[in-house]
Amino acid sequence: MSKKLMINKFKIKKNNRGNIYKIISKKSKFYHGFSELYISCIKKNETKGWNKHKKMTLNLFVIKGKIRIEIYKNNRKTRKILNENSLKILTIPPNTWVKFINLSQNSSKIINFANLMHNKNEMEKKTNL
């Protein structure tokens, strides 16, 4: 299992009736198993986080809007911006603090392709870091 933050591009299969976006497969280097897929909605001018999963690896991609993802690990803060046109998936390893900030004028939506089922006992929450 990777212990580092990774950004990978989607693979696109061009089709004159509409493209196909291959986001993740068992062969992907950032694939760590699958247990759950969910969408988080973030309203205009809202923030979600700080959250840290102790065991879960998150694979995040934005399907609507624009989101700044703030990451904190090993006393180092990183910021990544993803939007519905960026065609990127962000992999966040376990024991990494993460926060989502909506940068859009409307609600944004982000998908997490998770290797574990959500479990409130497996995660920590904080207001500030």
What structural domains does the chain harbor? 6-119 (2.60.120.10)
Mind listing the pLDDT tens digit for each residue in 21-31?
A: 888 888 888 88
Residues 59-75, mean pLDDT to the nearest whole number: 96
For the whole model, what pTM was predicted?
A: 0.84
Tokens of 107: 């609600």
Mind listing the pLDDT tens digit for each residue in 82-127?
A: 999 998 999 999 999 999 999 999 999 999 999 999 999 999 999 9
Q: Cα–Cα distance between 122 and 20 in angstroms, integer?
A: 34
pLDDT at residue 104, as a whole number: 98
Q: Could you tell me what percent of the chain has a pLDDT over 90?
A: 69
Q: Cα–Cα distance between 49 and 27 in angstroms, integer?
A: 30
H or E segment and range at residue 36:
strand 36-42
Q: Is the predicted pLDDT of residue 4 greater than 80, yes or no?
A: no
Tokens of 114: 């998770």
Tell me what the pLDDT averaged over the chain comes to: 91
Residues 35-47, mean pLDDT to the nearest whole number: 94
pLDDT at residue 2, as a whole number: 56
Q: 68 and 79 in contact (C-beta within 8 Å)?
A: yes
pLDDT at residue 63, as a whole number: 95
